[in-house]
Amino acid sequence: MVDLNFNAGDVDPAEEWTLLPVDRYTAIITDSEDVQNKSGSGSHLKLTFSIVEGKYTGRRQWARLNLNNDSEYAVDIARAELSAICHAVGVMQMNDTAELHNRPLVISVKHETKANFNNGEPTAKVAGFYSVADNKAAAKKKAAPKPAADDDVMDGEEAPF
């Protein structure tokens, strides 16, 4: 037996874990580490994102950037993703990944399914990185009402209907 001295009335019960829905989320990078790949021939930069706004505040999502890989193509993709992150948080030159931490950005989460991973079940993946300002401007533009048909009529003309 294990003596815990625990009162379940003091803690909200855990809810069933669900996949983070496909959407965009305001987040911050809270951790970064260099992780050796399975083959031992390289490593990837593992970034931990914590969502800081909305219903999913506190949830985490991860991205892995193959900055040290035998595949030049994988490295090119990782460098482009790192550039997108740097642009999103306003850090154009850095010496340490800690310089990216705790700066808000917007991450785009998508679902992907791989037959050889997670028993073929879908997983959530960070698919894009955006500045908070650019994301708000895009959302505002998307939400703007479309002009009515008669708004296209020039002054002094009658509507064609």
pLDDT in tens, 115-125: 777 778 898 99
What mean pLDDT value characterizes the chain? Answer: 87
What are the chain's domains? Answer: 18-136 (2.40.50)
Quickly state the pLDDT bin for 159 (edges 50, 70, 90).
Answer: very low
pLDDT score of 146: 64
How is the chain split among helix, strand and coil, in percent rounded to 5? 25, 30, 40
Any idea which of 7-21, 44-58, 64-78, 145-159 has the lowest mean pLDDT?
145-159
Instruction: Give how far Cα 146 sits from Cα of 128, 141, 152, Å.
Output: 27, 10, 11
Strand partners, 25: 107
In the block, tokens 């595949």 appear at: 71
pLDDT in tens, 4-61: 889 999 998 988 878 999 999 999 999 999 999 888 889 999 999 999 999 999 999 9
pLDDT score of 130: 96
CA distance 131 to 139: 12
